[in-house]
Amino acid sequence: MAPKNGCILLLLGISISCFAAMAQEVPCRQMTMLVNMLEKYHYKPVELNQTTSAEIFDDFIERLDPYGNIFISGDIKALEPYKNNLFIMHSDEKACSFLKSITELYLRKLQKTDTLVSSILEHPFDFDVNDSIVFTGHSQANFAANDGELKKRWVRRLKYKALNILCTPAEEADPIALDNKQLLLKEAGARKKLMSQWRRFLQRMTEHPSGYEMFMAEQFFNTIANRYDPHTLYLSAAGKERFLLPISKEARAFGLSCTEGKNGEVEIGYLTPGGPAWKSNQLHRGDVLLQLKWPEGEALDLSYSSDSEVDEIINNSGYDKMWLTVKKANGMVSTVALVRETIDVEENIIAGYILKGEKRVGYISLPGFYTSRDDQVGLGCANDVAKEIFKLQKENIEGLILDLRYNGGGSLHEAIGLAGIFIDQGPLCMAKDRYQNVRLMKDLNRGTVFNGPLVVMVNGFSASASELVAAGLRDYNRALIVGSNTFGKAIAQVTFPLDSDLTSLHNLLNQKNRAFVNITVEQLYRVNGISHQKTGIAPDIELPELFTNLDDGETSEPYAILPDRVDKKVYYTPLPELPATLLAEKSRSRTEQHDVFTKIKQLSDSLRTARKQKEILVLKPAAFSTYVKKDRELKAFTARLMKAPAANYSVLATRFDEAVIKSNNFRKEMNAVLMKKLTDDIYIEEAYSILTDLIDTQKK
């Protein structure tokens, strides 16, 4: 088939073969520029020696085939001459040769696997055979010795997936209630669905919008970038464009865009501040998209979809409502209803609520640190939070809860501004660059917006800017930090354009194809000189968390930058110490007698133990139905635990917001959802009790 731009090439008098040769050269030259930029700008540049070469080699193969379903051990052995010398003598020539070799090999293996999968799915599965699959909690591939062993792996894998489809509840009946004979009547349909899923997976790579070769190059570029640290990334022009897709001032949108996660799953990559997804307070960056359902028709299975495909489905549909099923970072699965709306950038996108009980306190949730979409200083989230506090103060609140749970960070400038709302001027943190230069980041504005009792809520998914705020407010004794240990990201990144001026032909055909690289350039430190990088911020008052230590945050990343400290004397004036020990004892006394918190702790302990053990699943309908039933019961039990209605307060909107809610049907619907969520959150309930204790203590 002739390329789409063949007419242009002919008009230019350039041969197709010349273009193909040029196209192969582009990734190699981009890789050279990427490595040069990483060496020039990265906070802790990596020496590309034999050890790091071997690590990049292994990481790339695992990225392409994490479960050992494509390659066999002989394939890896054939590539091993490249393993230790990808960047020998500071040259990228070997790495470029490796990329070309593995790109060709992987395509052949995908085509061969397609033939294998097709042949397996042509025939009914034999569920009388004693097959089983083992889950170990670690995905690193142990490659099959030969094609025969690889086929056995695929039979087990496809059997497992078929049983999973057969036991997924449908609208007409619950499969768990069916006997084996009734269940297996749907087996042919399950195989047909599996074939469709596999073909979509294959299409994602072989028919990638940038081309298969460029897809492979991007995967390799990110493997190299991630070896420097997990937050250093290569961004293609298309990826950057998708990131900006939902930020239109005019379009009606759901307010989210997708990205590809480390395991190839489609994740939420961005939430438009003020958009429906943001306001739902139920979706977060990093949530994995599983299903999408419109008001009509069956739910769309998003397995093996690409991020660009899902973005296109969401943004180009004719429906104004959808139900999105996602897997949260803690493993929970939830379905969220969203209504498309025109995003009004003038409207406050932070919502404050009143918790009315023994005390009248304010509550503000901040899912992320956004800055002005017009790049105007001082008009981002800090400004919006300040405006919301003014509204709450008119409601005579006695204290404030600032909820930074699941806040993955964002603008450091806004983080400094937000902390400055609660403290008088002074230094809040330090940043050190690769040359050991240390600079202070200060709140330069005198005075405070709110100086009453303050509780800041965090958890293991509070990262970066949210950790900076929590640490700064603690160092000034300005707030009690409540929840669980934070993620542990205390480094800052800058996005640089990757020079795309490769050849005149390349520029002519790819005028908008400018790639970017997001590079870690600084490490952050508290005013006491200690960095919380990789360790996180421990709360003053710890609450039992269902998934504490199941996801280890930055500590689970093998190439995470290590914590250290700076010996710079910083002068600041903390407030009198808060009674954290006394209030922690009171909180512990409550949670130990709280039935739900007790069950959460017990369940968390059992899940932590189970995670360390191998799980063997028998691939027969009866055994699988039992497994699914237990899993469903556990999820239902967990969902009930996490939705225990609060008994000690009621939730009210501010008088200002009530007027807006009455005139806006979407806001009315969303407000009802949010108020119910605040009522059903036992962590907010305990934060309210802690804040009540703090108010009483400070009155004495």
- pLDDT digit string, tens, across residues 89-118: 767 889 999 999 999 999 999 999 999 999
- Asked if residue 252 and residue 184 are part of one domain, the reply reads no
- Asked if residue 213 and residue 280 are part of one domain, the reply reads no
- Cβ 455 vs Cβ 480: under 8 Å: yes
- Asked if residue 644 and residue 590 are part of one domain, the reply reads yes
Q: Which of 228, 263, 298 is the last residue of a domain?
A: 228
Angle between the 595-611 and 580-593 helix axes, to the nearest 10 degrees?
A: 90
User: How many other C-beta atoms can be found within 10 angstroms of the C-beta atom of residue 571?
Assistant: 8
Domain containing residue 281: 233-342
Q: How much is the pLDDT for 24? A: 53
Residues 560-568 have a mean pLDDT of 95
Q: How much is the pLDDT for 498? A: 86
- Place 22 in a pLDDT band, splitting at 50, 70 and 90: very low
Check whether 2 has a pLDDT greater than 50.
no
Find the range with the poorest average confidence among 371-375, 396-400, 524-528, 581-585: 371-375
Question: Residue 171: inside a domain, yes or no?
Answer: yes
CA distance 583 to 481: 11
Q: How much is the pLDDT for 467? A: 97
Question: Residue 190: inside a domain, yes or no?
Answer: yes
Check whether 140 has a pLDDT greater than 70.
no
Residues 26-49 have a mean pLDDT of 92
Find the range with the poorest average confidence among 376-385, 388-397, 405-414: 376-385
CA distance 419 to 644: 32
Q: How much is the pLDDT for 13? A: 37
Q: Which two tokens stand for residue 211?
A: 């081309």
Helices then strands, each counted (H, E), the chain: 22, 22
Sequence-ordered list of residues with C-beta below 8 angstroms from that of 154, at least 6 positions apart, any chain:
69, 113, 116, 117, 120
CA distance 425 to 428: 9
- Asked if residue 185 and residue 67 are part of one domain, the reply reads yes
- Asked if residue 272 and residue 191 are part of one domain, the reply reads no
Residue type (1 letter), 362: G
Residues 155-167 have a mean pLDDT of 90
Output the DSSP codes for 377-443. Answer: TT-SHHHHHHHHHHHHHTTT-S-EEEE-TT---B-HHHHHHHHHTTS-SEEEEEEE-TT--EEEEEE
Q: How much is the pLDDT for 90? A: 65
Q: How much is the pLDDT for 7? A: 38
- Class of residue 458 by CB neighbours under 10 A (exposed 0-12, middle 13-18, buried 19+): buried
Residues 148-170 have a mean pLDDT of 88
- Asked if residue 250 and residue 176 are part of one domain, the reply reads no
Q: What is the pLDDT of residues 179-195, one digit of tens each?
A: 667 777 888 999 998 99
- Asked if residue 460 and residue 403 are part of one domain, the reply reads yes
Question: Residue 614: inside a domain, yes or no?
Answer: yes
Check whether 16 has a pLDDT greater than 50.
no
Strands 515-525 and 491-498: antiparallel
Q: Which of 324, 342, 360 is the last residue of a domain?
A: 342
- Cβ 238 vs Cβ 210: under 8 Å: yes
- Asked if residue 586 and residue 482 are part of one domain, the reply reads yes
Residue 235 or residue 143, greater confidence = 143
Check whether 160 has a pLDDT greater than 80.
yes
Find the range with the poorest average confidence among 12-16, 400-404, 521-525: 12-16
Residue 511 or residue 444, greater confidence = 444
- Cβ 405 vs Cβ 470: under 8 Å: no
User: How many other C-beta atoms can be found within 10 angstroms of the C-beta atom of residue 416?
Assistant: 23
Count of alpha carbons within 13 angstroms of residue 556, beta-carbon side: 8
| Residue 585 phi, psi (nearest 5) | -65, -40
Question: Residue 251: inside a domain, yes or no?
Answer: yes
Residues 199-225 have a mean pLDDT of 90
Residues 198-223 have a mean pLDDT of 89
Q: Residue 570 gets which letter from DSSP?
A: -
CA distance 516 to 495: 7
Report the Cα 519 to chain-centroid distance in Å. 18
Q: How much is the pLDDT for 340? A: 85
| The total number of residues written for the chain in this structure | 700
Residue type (1 letter), 436: Q
Q: Which of 342, 365, 393 is the last residue of a domain?
A: 342
Residue 440 or residue 616, greater confidence = 440
Q: How much is the pLDDT for 178? A: 57
Question: Residue 30: inside a domain, yes or no?
Answer: no
Question: Residue 8: inside a domain, yes or no?
Answer: no
- Asked if residue 156 and residue 103 are part of one domain, the reply reads yes
Residues 645-674 have a mean pLDDT of 81
- Asked if residue 163 and residue 177 are part of one domain, the reply reads yes
Check whether 501 has a pLDDT greater than 80.
no
Strands 649-653 and 352-357: antiparallel
Torsion from C-alpha of 119, 121, 124, 127, nearest 10 degrees:
110
Q: What is the pLDDT of residues 526-562, one digit of tens each?
A: 999 999 999 999 999 999 887 654 556 798 899 999 9
User: How many other C-beta atoms can be found within 10 angstroms of the C-beta atom of residue 429?
Assistant: 26
Residues 505-515 have a mean pLDDT of 52
Residues 475-492 have a mean pLDDT of 96
Q: What is the pLDDT of residues 452-482, one digit of tens each?
A: 999 999 999 899 999 999 999 999 999 999 9
Residues 564-587 have a mean pLDDT of 95
Question: Residue 570: inside a domain, yes or no?
Answer: no
Count of alpha carbons within 13 angstroms of residue 121, beta-carbon side: 24
- Asked if residue 195 and residue 64 are part of one domain, the reply reads yes
Vertex 102, ends 98 and 104: CA angle to 5°?
120
- Cβ 87 vs Cβ 35: under 8 Å: yes
- Cβ 438 vs Cβ 665: under 8 Å: no
- Residues of the chain with pLDDT > 70, as a percent, come to 85
Question: Residue 143: inside a domain, yes or no?
Answer: yes
| Residue 123 phi, psi (nearest 5) | -120, 150
The reported pTM is: 0.85
Output the DSSP codes for 495-537. Answer: EEEEP----HHHHHH-TT--EEEEEEEEEEE-TTSB--TTT--
Provide the terminal-to-terminal Cα distance of the chain, rounded to the nearest Å: 82
CA distance 200 to 103: 19
CA distance 460 to 552: 8
Highest mean pLDDT among 299-303, 405-409, 511-515, 529-533: 529-533
CA distance 71 to 61: 9
Check whether 523 has a pLDDT greater than 70.
yes
Q: Which two tokens stand for residue 314?
A: 């969401």
Q: Where are the alpha helices (DSSP H) in 245-284?
A: 276-280
Q: Which two tokens stand for residue 643?
A: 């939705």
Q: Which two tokens stand for residue 448?
A: 């405070």
User: How many other C-beta atoms can be found within 10 angstroms of the C-beta atom of residue 530?
Assistant: 16
- Cβ 482 vs Cβ 457: under 8 Å: yes
- Residue in 510, 518, 623, 700 with CA at minimum distance from that of residue 159: 623
Q: How much is the pLDDT for 395? A: 95
Report the Cα 534 to chain-centroid distance in Å. 17
Residues 428-456 have a mean pLDDT of 93
Mean pLDDT of all residues in the chain?
A: 84
- Cβ 236 vs Cβ 326: under 8 Å: no
Torsion from C-alpha of 388, 393, 395, 397, nearest 10 degrees:
110
- Cβ 266 vs Cβ 258: under 8 Å: yes
Check whether 503 has a pLDDT greater than 60.
no
| Residue 269 phi, psi (nearest 5) | -100, -25
Strands 454-458 and 480-483: parallel
Highest mean pLDDT among 274-278, 291-295, 356-360: 356-360
- Asked if residue 326 and residue 373 are part of one domain, the reply reads no
Number of domains observed in the structure of the chain: 3
